Structure formats: structure tokens, C-alpha cells
Amino acid sequence: MLSLILEHIKAKKVVYLLVAISLLIYDASLIIPTKVIQSMVDLMSKDDLSQTSLWNHIFVLLLATIISYGTAYLWHLKLFQEAVAFKCELQQRAFKKLVFMRTPYYDKFRSGDMMTRFSTDVEALMDFIGYGLMIILYAGGMFAFIIPTMFLISWQMTLIGMIPILFGVFMTYFMTKKQELLVEEARESISNLSDQVLETVEGIRVMRAYSKKDYLAKEFQGKTAAIAEKWNQIATIRGLYFPVYSSIIALSTILVLVTGISFLQNHSVTLGQVIALQLYLVSLIEPFSMLADFILVYQTGNTSFGKLNELITTSDDMETDGTYRLTQVDSIEMKAYSFRYPKNQQDTLKELNISLNRGQTLGIIGKTGSGKTTLVRQFLRQYSKGSGTFQINGRDILDYQRKEIEAKIGYVPQEHILFSKTVWENIAMGNSQAGKDQILEAIETAAFKDDLQHLSQGLETEIGERGLSISGGQKQRISIARAFLAEPDLLILDDSLSAVDAKTEAAIIANIQEKRHGKTTVIVSHRLSAIQHADWVIVLENGRIVEEGRPEELYQLGGWYYQQYLKQEGKED
């Protein structure tokens, strides 16, 4: 954590130098009033305080007050401005990591835990570099000025006064051990709570359908109570700091006072010096009591740094990016290609042989769990390449830059991801430079034109988070329109027509044939009607190709394709 903070301080060294200087001046100005009081007491004890001297002392007090307030404003402003800037830098760094990572990376973190790292943990680090650094500089400066000043007055009395303080330092060490463990437990509890909130929001309809509201409320109450209990225990430990330090300083003050009487009798010190030592000891209560805050901020920040650093440094275990550019997709070929997921012991795809040329349409069908979506993920490079040959344009897929491959693919997944924006903005994500005419053409291609007219504000209609305010079929067609707008070399529809009726499906398929003439398309579907026009169809079962050929050839084989054809035709009848 300290290396990260030092890196930030070095980058903003001018600002932090200004903060340090202003804080040191501020700390120095705080000991001036005590020095003035010491001088005035000594003058009064000698009956030597003139009116001129009194006004001079008052002037110095006013000047010290002005300096302390001016420098306090400066270091407060700059220190906490930089803390906010540090938070923004961390969030940008973390977000950039999230954007560029592939699927294996996201398999390593729970959604709620990731959000906690991205928000709560970043906030904790901001608190440390802001409030924590303030305590270090402020309290450190106070100790640096006050303790040497006390030694200059009387090193013997100062040493006697320090004995209880040293005892307090040892007590602090033992108290922090228990607190550190509680901080880690509280942070993990917050992460678990975030998980539940996200899951509840995403699955609220299912939970309502199964009347789980009371159960969820009790579970949530239990988790919040656990968090409260952890922080109550932390507060109990923190609550001990101030009375402990107050008692220690009070004891030190008594020792100095008793010792001071003896030293006064021996004329080793003046009355003003004894009073000054008392005031200096009292002024140490604040920096010592702030140690409780610093310890908590440090422990929380250190725990959060470990979590955030794990988020930033964890790899997605993907291969090194290639160097070749991909101008267009002319051919895709797999030979004896097998793939298994990172944590699996068996292959999900087994010995696949696929050849697809530019302008062709490949249909992929099979039972649920046969490996259709897993096969599609190979084109998208969501996971590391499996064994065997996988080439684009005769060159290994790993030779190409990933961004080049991504730019040539339009993908419509099974779960249609829409954002809490307008219809226009969701579709325009396929091509941010597209004009209204292009967007309308994509909408027509996706057979969404009639539905658009029934939306309250047309293209400007807000569709809600994940498309909450529109139907499943409308979500699919907006996703398809978005992919069409990108005009990709390779369009992949992963069971993307399941929520539309037969007439709409036929219209979309006809538009694909017309608009994407000369471009490559991959269609995954449970409906055979969606792949009747395909140049080649493969049937997957347990990750293997068990049938392949043109649709009419598969019909003649009398296998799985034929049986499905009879079932689906029978349903239509």
C-alpha cells in the first residue's frame, strides 16, 4: 500500500511539498501561544510585565492565530483535493482493468465482491491518503515540535512525564491486533452483503414469484446485523483509546507538576516553564487520541489495498496478444479442435473439424448442453485457445491482435445485455458514428420497425436497466439491430431468435440473406427454421459433431436433425 501511495505522492510532489510545508508551519504556530504564556507568567512573577510588553505578546498571539488558520485552510484544501484525485485515478485504473479482461478473469471474483473492491475499498484508500496522511503530518509535526521544546525546558521533567506515555504506546500495540482482525471480518461481511443486494435486484421477479420476500428480508437483516456487530466491536476498542490517553496524559501532568514543585524550589526551572510543560502535555492529548483514527484508517486501507491490488494484478490467464492485423475475415477453420474450461477435467468440445468461407452461413444446432455456446465463445476468444488447429485466413488465431478480431465480429448473445439508456443509444453502441438513417435501416433489418412505432417516445424511449420495460422479443431485436449496425465481417447469433414468433423470425432471416450477402454468419438455434437457409449445418452432442451437411442432406440422413424436424413440424401442424 505504501508503495502505491508514494507513487502518487511522487507524481504530485509539488502539491504535497506545499502541504508538508504549510502543515509544519501550522504545527509550529501551535506552540507559539504556550511560549507566549510562559513568557508572560515569568514576567508577571518578576512583576516586570509592562503595557508595551503585554501588547507585544498579544500581537504575537494574534499573528500565530492568523498563521495557523491560513496554513490550516491551505493544507486541508490541497490534501483532500489530492485524496479525491487519488480515488479517481484508482477507479479509472481498476475500470480499465475490468474492461480489458476476458471471461476467465470474471470467473475468479463474485460480482458483489468486485463492486465492494471497486467502491468501498477505493474509498478506504482515499481516506488513508487524505485523513490518514493528515494525521501523520499533523501529529508527527506536533510531536516533532512539542517534545524537543519540552526537552529544552527541562529534559529531566520531560523524561519523567514520558514514562506513562511509553506505557500507552505498548497498550496501543496490543489493542490494534484485535481491531485489525475485526476490520478484515467487517470488510468481508460488506462484500457478502453486496453480493446479496446484486443477486436480489437481478432476480427480484423470480423471488417475488416464489414468495421469498420475507426470507430475503430476514437474511438481509442478519447480514446487516453481523456488519453492525463487527463495527460495534471495533467502536468498543476505539472507544478505549481516548480515555486511556487522557488518563495517561493526566498522569504525566501530575508527575510533571509534582516534579516541577521540587525543581522550582531548587530554582532549576521557572513557574512559566512548569506551566508551559503542563500545557504542552495537555496539547499532546489530541495527536495521541488521533492515533486511534489513524490505526483504524490504516488497517482498513491496508486490507482494502490487498483486495484492490488483487483485482488490478490478477490475470485472465489468456495468451499474449498477437501482432498481426485482420483486415477482413475470409475463412475460418478448425481441425481436431478440442477445448475445456479452466476448472474442468474433461473437454467440453472434442475433435471438431469446421471450415467456413467468406459469404457462407453456418448453422449450429443440438441438445441443451451440447456445447453450442462454448463453440461460439471460441470465435470470440473469451477463453484461452484449446488444443488443435484454429485459424482465420490460414493463420493461427493467436497471431492476430484481439482488438482486430473483436472489430470484425458482431455478437448477439443468448442473454441480451441492454443498458439503462434510450433505444437509440443501445443500438448506436454497434457504431457510434452511425447516423439516423443507418440506425433506422438496422432497425428495419431486425424487424423492429413496427414495435418502435408503439413505444411512447420512439427511439428516445428509455428502456430501463437490462431492458426491464420492454418484452423479451423486443430486447432480442434491439440486440440484433445493434449487431447489424456494426456491419461485421462475421455475425454470430447465439439462439437470438428464441423470443420472436415464426413470422418475425422469417423476416429477420430473409433480411440477413439480403443485407449480409457476401459476409459470414453463424447462427445457433433450437429452431430448425432459423438455419434452413444455411450453407452448412453441424449437429453437436456432448461436444462432438455427430451430423453435418446441408439442411436437405441432414433431413435425408434420418438422424437427430430429422427427428427434430418432424417434432417441430408436428407442433406447427
pLDDT band at 353 (very low <50, low <70, confident <90, very high): very high
C-alpha 15/C-alpha 568 separation (Å) is 72
Query: Region 475-500: what's the mean pLDDT?
Result: 89
Question: Pseudo-torsion of CA 98, 101, 102, 107, nearest 10°?
Answer: -60
- Stronger pLDDT, 36 or 180, i.e. the higher one: 36
Tell me, what's the pLDDT at 466? Answer: 63
pLDDT band at 5 (very low <50, low <70, confident <90, very high): confident
Tell me, what's the pLDDT at 572? Answer: 44
Q: Which helix (H) or strand (E) holds 192?
A: helix 155-202
- Checking if the pLDDT of 25 tops 50, the result is yes
Tell me, what's the pLDDT at 201? Answer: 66
Residue 535 contacts residue 361 (beta carbons within 8 Å): yes
The beta strand positions in 358-431, using DSSP E, are: 361-366, 387-392, 395-396, 409-412
Share of the chain above pLDDT 90, in %: 22
C-alpha 261/C-alpha 263 separation (Å) is 5
- Checking if the pLDDT of 354 tops 60, the result is yes
- State the average pLDDT for the chain: 85
- Checking if the pLDDT of 461 tops 90, the result is no
Tell me, what's the pLDDT at 468? Answer: 67
**Cα dihedral across residues 73, 79, 80, 84: positive or negative:** positive
Cell 485466413 belongs to residue: 393
The number of CA neighbours under 13 Å toward the Cβ of 95 is: 8
C-alpha 460/C-alpha 422 separation (Å) is 5
What's the longest Cα–Cα distance across the chain? 122
Q: Which helix (H) or strand (E) holds 523?
A: strand 520-524
pLDDT band at 573 (very low <50, low <70, confident <90, very high): very low
Query: Region 161-190: what's the mean pLDDT?
Result: 78
Q: Residue 430: CB partners within 8 Å, gap ≥ 6?
A: 410, 442, 481, 482, 483, 484, 485, 486
Cell 463487527 belongs to residue: 230
Edge-to-edge strands, sheet with 536-541? 409-412, 490-494, 520-524, 361-366, 536-541, 544-549
Amino acid letter for position 520: T
- Checking if the pLDDT of 521 tops 70, the result is yes
Tell me, what's the pLDDT at 204? Answer: 64
Tell me, what's the pLDDT at 212? Answer: 67
* DSSP codes of every residue in 498-544: TTS-HHHHHHHHHHHHHHTTTSEEEEE-S-GGGGTT-SEEEEEETTE
Residue 53 contacts residue 43 (beta carbons within 8 Å): yes
Residue 24 contacts residue 324 (beta carbons within 8 Å): no
Query: Region 392-399: what's the mean pLDDT?
Result: 94
Residues written for the chain: 573
CA 310 vs CA 121, 201, 507, 554: distances in Å: 12, 26, 48, 51
C-alpha 33/C-alpha 27 separation (Å) is 12
Residue 463 contacts residue 423 (beta carbons within 8 Å): yes
Residue 132 contacts residue 140 (beta carbons within 8 Å): no
Angle between helices 133-153 and 155-202 (to 10 degrees): 170
Query: Region 285-296: what's the mean pLDDT?
Result: 80
Tell me, what's the pLDDT at 29? Answer: 87
**Residue 318 DSSP one-character state:** P
Residue 541 contacts residue 345 (beta carbons within 8 Å): no
CB count, 10 Å around CB of 87? 18
Domains within the chain, CATH numbers bracketed: 361-369+402-570 (3.40.50.300)
